[in-house]
Structure 1
Amino acid sequence: MMSSRTRDARARRLVGSNNSSLAIAACLLLCGCATKPLVPYSTDTPALALVPAVQAQVQDKRGRFREIYCAVLQDRQHGTPDYRPCEDALTRVGTEPAGTGMPVRLGQSERRLLAAVVAGIGYECFESWLQAPGTVTQIVRRSGYDATFLRVDALSSSANNARQIRDAIMAMPPEAGPPRLVLIGYSKGAPDILEAVVSYPEIRSRVAAVVSAAGAIGGSPLANEAEQYQADLLRHFPGATCASGDGGGVNSLRPAVRKAWLEQHPLPRELRYYSLATFPHPDRISSILMPSYNKLARIDARNDSQVIFYDQLIPGSVLLGYVNADHWALAVPIARTHTTIGSLFTTQNAYPREALMEALLRFIEEDMTTPAR
């Protein structure tokens, strides 16, 4: 076994003082170097079946979401960072339903939905280094929406973070009228949110919807060969204030853990669930993420470098679409604030996240006018 002193020394050597080394160290979190099977032999698993989404009670509304997203992109193209044409922003997978032909309303929000984002593993560790510009919040506010972060431990388990999500929601002043809080879980943030709404029924009346955005709903096989001490490398980022927490972050991402949790914990039926998955073309994977993409491709090449596309859907949710972006490009704007790293490592990090968030909130607001199943 490696001692904690040896691990810390190795971390300091890996991280160093160079920003390029920092990006590489971050990638080590789930990339790994071992050659053992990503899904090891084990009989400790619930019975599983890989079936079409409709048989998992997923409603396919990609056609309408595409209409809304395309309309937002077209209308905002001159003010949207990292603009892409709509056909390049979304991936058509299989037979995508046709659009409805209904007009897209681009005026001020009537429901004033509030997007509360729970980030993925390690985010708190490099948040100050990232220096995210905050343009998503600024732009959605122009349309009457709002956005915020719900802080959770960077390296703790989903059970630990679920309690923090519960406390943050209960600390919000209660509002009259229908709920307007949209919980958006990115990567590990998605299972953190699901554990919160299952474990703490007192928050459900305050939640309008739950969204998986490249969420690790079914876990990631990359976590099977990762260890928590690798995640702890992120504590050595310059300016990092994150702690090891309860040490359960990596374990919470293992497929056996996630699928067993789903089997044992039915989701509350009174809530609305939505899934926005990442399904990038291989040339949309940043160079630094290619090792983990190739590793996952030993199971399925239809992955975003961290999660396979079918492991991102919440059972019984509404499928919004498949985003043509890798795992980091969906939510972490590295290239905007660190241009050198962007040109060398996060080479496909540009994506119109602001337009995507606006389209997501507009779709949910419109969808809420129809009865839930």
Structure 2
Amino acid sequence: MLPFRPPSVSIVDSAPWGSRGAIGAMIHELRDLLGNRDGIWQNEHTDSGTLGRRQRASVSSQALRSALSTGLSTEDERTTLTEFLRAGERRWTVPVTELDPIGSVGSMHFAVTKALMLIRLDRHPSTIRDTHVWAAGSVDDTPLAARDIRVRCYAPTGPATGHCVVLVPGHALPATASIDTIQALNASGHGVVALEHDWTPSAAPEDHLGLRLVRDVAAVLATAQAQYGSDRVHALGCSVGASVGVLGALLLAMQGRIQLQGPPLHPAVPAVLVSPWVGSDTDLVALGQSGTPRPGLPKQPAALRRPGLHATVAEAPQLLTRATQQVLLADLRVPVDLLSALTPTRMHILSHIAEGLRPIAPIHILQATRDPFHEPALVRGLAHALDASLHWVPERNHLLELSAATPPMVSRWLDPGAPAPEPTPTTEPDPTIHGAARDRSLRFALLAARSTQGATILPENAHDHIYLIVPGLFTERYPFYLREPCTRMSALGLEHAVVPVDTDQTVSRNAEQIRQTVLQHALDGRKVVLVGHSKGGIDIAEALSVHAELRSCVEAVIAVQVPWLGSPVADFVAGRSVWAQGHRLVVERAFAGDEQALLDLQEPIRKAHIKTHPWPEAVPTVCLATALKQRASLLSVPDSLLSKTHGPTDGFVPVASAVLPGSDAVFIRDVDHGGVVLPAPFGLSAHFPSGDILIALIALALERAAQRAAPS
């Protein structure tokens, strides 16, 4: 345990018992302990585990009901709780806490809720002690107001290992929500130091709430290292406590950006991140912003409110009930704009990760497959960027600290004597990336955002190559096709040309044209970068797999929405005689093309062809897979039809079909099949201009090529 340290300044609370709702919550908790002890309130006269209809209401509604349950006065409830506290202390023969519940902590509510927890866990106060850590210092040269951080230390209940786990809770729940995980870690012999957030804005003119969280976590980790040893401390973060608190402390400490007034933080800390809050696709547009994050909160203190939980727990009424009870019992309130206040720091940290910064020690990520709070696909990209082990939990739940799956997994990962666990075989949330592809979405977002803002993102050798673009099926008849990407390339001085394939012709015929064009442009010794859109990528694959002499002429390949495993549109046309006859009539008579141009893209044909003509993995390749999500598009109707059987699509190509194993994969939502090559309204690209998408893909492809060329 950490040594006992009282706060530097005594605090006298004007409401030492907390709110009326908190008093009612403590009474409900006491009744449950005296009743069926199932952890669910107001069901003592029904079967254990039964949920009432009112228990499914919002946190605010539950708080109001809890407050009303105390009647006109709370004097009787306060007397009952005081008697309960004194009875517990007589039983334990020691005070429930070494801190003065009135003079230091400022709240009888603090002492009573701890006593309730001790009774529920059947533990003695000497095994769960409260103390303070002094947090002082700056982050990114930003001065931050020094303050006391209250922490709760849980002693091991099993044979002690001498290791300590620092727990950083998220924004929606107190640390006690992770009590099952804490108990599991204690049983494994680990001590646990749980940080208690204080989201109240400071009196500083500008309160950098995100940087303050980073500094506080760093101070607690450093204090634990001073007590246990730098190689015996681990970190466990949940939600914002994971992505902002733990990752921010470890990564910024690696760069020397955290200056603590006290013991230094050694950043080689193994960590488990539970549902790390990454954000949304829209947030990634801000990745290109550089410099120190903006102030965390407005100058005037923000109003406090109960955290909303319905957006974080879906289809799990038992978990929602437990979460609500934890919030009411802790009397937890957070700033109304807390997540907005933390966003600049979160994006600052993600930018460092996208630039290639990696933690020193191993990282494990635990993520629900259907997290209702943010996109699980973005967490997968974070895991790839961190070289972290990603483990999926088949739940629709962001608050995994309440999940029964979390305690055994976390305690196993943080056991220093256990072998390194393999990633769980649980199916991913959707077939967005398949095979052994490396998800580079986070790095792509950083590059695309900076390109949009006018920054130079291309490497110095970008102008040494020729960029040959192979268009997709029937695209010679599309208005403004490739206009914006080509205009952007011209503005950057990139030499490029469109390969003169007949977009109405077969794969084999176009592959021959690609061979001739590549050899012609390679006569001066320069290498080419091939860019294929849709079927154009299939034509490139045919050329490189059949004509091996081309591979030495190709620096990299960029595959934009390419149906490597086939397109269900081709299957649909081929499987219906009326559609097949109409397609043949249009293509062969009106276009003077070959009907096989589309039929070559049938899924059975593509899968069989790949087996006999595998992709040359020695060629550095970047694949872009996109999908529609919420934005309206001209392809919304085919997407809604295809997604029922093939998962997310861009309106023509399923995402699961658009990624090559062994490639660098980029996944973007709200971009349809024409979004990268056609202007609006013909194509939809909701987050980045189409020209900047291509430039970012070129930068990624050249990075991949440089990595391949570098000596191992």
TM-score (norm 1): 0.65
- Displacement after TM superposition at 1:252 (Å): 0.8
- Displacement after TM superposition at 1:53 (Å): 8.0
Where does 1:200-279 land on structure 2 (aligned, <5 Å)?
Answer: 200-226=547-573, 227=580, 229-230=582-583, 233=586, 242-245=591-594, 247-279=595-627
Partner of 1:113: 465
Partner of 1:313: 659
Q: Does the CA contact (< 8 Å) of 1:155 and 1:231 recur in 2?
A: no
- Displacement after TM superposition at 1:293 (Å): 1.4
Q: Per residue, is there more strand in 1 or in 2?
A: 2
Where does 1:141-220 land on structure 2 (aligned, <5 Å)?
Answer: 141-176=490-525, 179=527, 181-220=528-567
Q: 1:107 to 1:189 in 2, by over 3 A?
A: closer
- Between the aligned partners of 1:112 and 1:266, the Cα distance in structure 2 is 29
- Displacement after TM superposition at 1:138 (Å): 3.1
Q: Does the CA contact (< 8 Å) of 2:434 and 2:661 recur in 1?
A: no
Structure 1 counterpart of 2:691, which letter?
E
Partner of 2:488: 139
Q: Does the CA contact (< 8 Å) of 1:296 and 1:305 recur in 2?
A: yes
Aligned-partner SS, 1:320: strand
- Between the aligned partners of 2:581 and 2:520, the Cα distance in structure 1 is 31
Q: 2:673 aligns with which of 327, 333, 346?
A: 327
2:692 is equivalent to residue 370 of structure 1: no
Q: Does the CA contact (< 8 Å) of 2:556 and 2:702 recur in 1?
A: no
Query: How far does the alpha carbon of each residue in 1:144-178 deviate from its partner, in whole angstroms, 9 at most, with x for none?
Result: 3233211222222212211121122223251235x
TM-score (norm 2): 0.36
Partner of 1:67: 446
Partner of 2:165: none
Structure 1 counterpart of 2:436, which letter?
Q
Q: 1:132 to 1:307 in 2, by over 3 A?
A: closer
Query: How far does the alpha carbon of each residue in 1:315-335 deviate from its partner, in whole angstroms, 9 at most, with x for none?
Result: 2211133253111222123x4
Q: 1:55 to 1:282 in 2, by over 3 A?
A: closer
Q: Does the CA contact (< 8 Å) of 2:568 and 2:603 recur in 1?
A: yes
Q: 1:212 to 1:231 in 2, by over 3 A?
A: farther
Aligned-partner SS, 1:368: helix
Structure 1 counterpart of 2:690, which letter?
R
Structure 1 unmatched runs, 5+: 1-49, 77-103, 336-341
Partner of 1:299: 645
- Displacement after TM superposition at 1:66 (Å): 1.7
- Displacement after TM superposition at 1:213 (Å): 0.3
- Between the aligned partners of 2:453 and 2:469, the Cα distance in structure 1 is 25
Aligned-partner SS, 1:369: helix
- Displacement after TM superposition at 1:229 (Å): 4.1
Partner of 2:83: none
Q: 1:347 to 1:311 in 2, by over 3 A?
A: closer
Partner of 1:356: 693
- Displacement after TM superposition at 1:142 (Å): 3.2
Q: Does the CA contact (< 8 Å) of 2:558 and 2:697 recur in 1?
A: no
275-284 vs 206-215, which deviates more?
A: 275-284
Q: CA RMSD in A?
A: 2.9
Report the count of equivalent residues: 275
Structure 1 counterpart of 2:475, which letter?
Y
Partner of 1:47: none
Q: Does the CA contact (< 8 Å) of 1:284 and 1:326 recur in 2?
A: no
- Between the aligned partners of 1:363 and 1:63, the Cα distance in structure 2 is 11
- Between the aligned partners of 2:444 and 2:685, the Cα distance in structure 1 is 23
Structure 2 counterpart of 1:203, which letter?
L
Q: 1:228 to 1:314 in 2, by over 3 A?
A: farther
Q: 1:276 to 1:162 in 2, by over 3 A?
A: same
Q: 1:108 to 1:219 in 2, by over 3 A?
A: same
Q: Does the CA contact (< 8 Å) of 1:108 and 1:144 recur in 2?
A: no
- Displacement after TM superposition at 1:228 (Å): 6.7
- Between the aligned partners of 2:563 and 2:698, the Cα distance in structure 1 is 21
- Between the aligned partners of 1:225 and 1:106, the Cα distance in structure 2 is 41
- Between the aligned partners of 2:589 and 2:701, the Cα distance in structure 1 is 39
Q: Does the CA contact (< 8 Å) of 1:136 and 1:357 recur in 2?
A: yes
Structure 1 counterpart of 2:523, which letter?
P
- Between the aligned partners of 2:493 and 2:471, the Cα distance in structure 1 is 23
Q: 1:224 to 1:133 in 2, by over 3 A?
A: closer
Q: 1:349 to 1:67 in 2, by over 3 A?
A: closer
Q: Does the CA contact (< 8 Å) of 1:112 and 1:144 recur in 2?
A: no
Structure 2 counterpart of 1:64, which letter?
R
Query: How far does the alpha carbon of each residue in 1:300-323 deviate from its partner, in whole angstroms, 9 at most, with x for none?
Result: 341111011110012221113325
Kindly indicate whether structure 1 or structure 2 has the higher relative contact order, using CA contacts under 8 Å at least 6 residues apart: 1
Structure 2 counterpart of 1:233, which letter?
V
Aligned-partner SS, 1:174: coil
- Between the aligned partners of 1:205 and 1:357, the Cα distance in structure 2 is 23
- Displacement after TM superposition at 1:64 (Å): 1.7
Q: Does the CA contact (< 8 Å) of 1:120 and 1:154 recur in 2?
A: yes
- Between the aligned partners of 1:139 and 1:371, the Cα distance in structure 2 is 27
Aligned-partner SS, 1:137: helix
312-321 vs 346-355, which deviates more?
A: 346-355
Aligned-partner SS, 2:707: coil
Structure 2 counterpart of 1:158, which letter?
V
Q: 1:167 to 1:105 in 2, by over 3 A?
A: closer
- Between the aligned partners of 2:620 and 2:459, the Cα distance in structure 1 is 24
Structure 1 counterpart of 2:609, which letter?
W
Q: 1:114 to 1:229 in 2, by over 3 A?
A: farther
Structure 1 counterpart of 2:642, which letter?
L
Structure 2 unmatched runs, 5+: 1-426, 574-579
Structure 2 counterpart of 1:294, which letter?
S
